[in-house]
Amino acid sequence: MLTYNDLKAEFKLSSDGDEWGNVMQWWFTVADEIYFNRDTIEVPESWEFRPSPLGPSNEPDDYPTYIVADAKADDLLRFGKLMDRYAGALRHADHDY
C-alpha cells in the first residue's frame, strides 16, 4: 500500500509543466477512487465533486489511476486534500485556466 509521501512523490514524477492540468488530473482521480471504490472514506463536500452517472472517468491503464488504487485510504484522502489546497493556491495566483 502506498503512503501519503509515496503519493506526493508520484505526483511530482508525473509533472509535465502544466501545473493546473496535473493537479486537476490527480485530484479528480482521487475523488473517483474514493467515491467508486472506497467504503471507509467519503469525498469531502468542499471538493464539490459530482460523479459521472456513467461511472469512473479514469482509464485503468492511466498512471494516476493505477497509483491511487494502491494507496491507503487515510493517505489517499490526505493527498486529495493537498490537491485541493494546491488548486486553491494556483487559482489565487491566477494560474488556472
> Closest Cα partner for 77 from 28, 26, 48, 34?
34
The per-residue pLDDT for range 23-68, each reduced to its tens digit, is 999 999 999 999 999 999 999 999 999 998 888 876 767 889 989 9
Percent of the chain with pLDDT over 90: 81
Q: What is the mean pLDDT of residues 5-29?
A: 95
Q: Please, are residues 20 and 90 in contact by the beta-carbon 8 Å criterion?
A: yes
State the CB neighbour count (10 A cutoff) for residue 6. Answer: 16
Q: What is the mean pLDDT of residues 76-94?
A: 98
Residues 6+ away with beta carbon under 8 Å from 66: 60
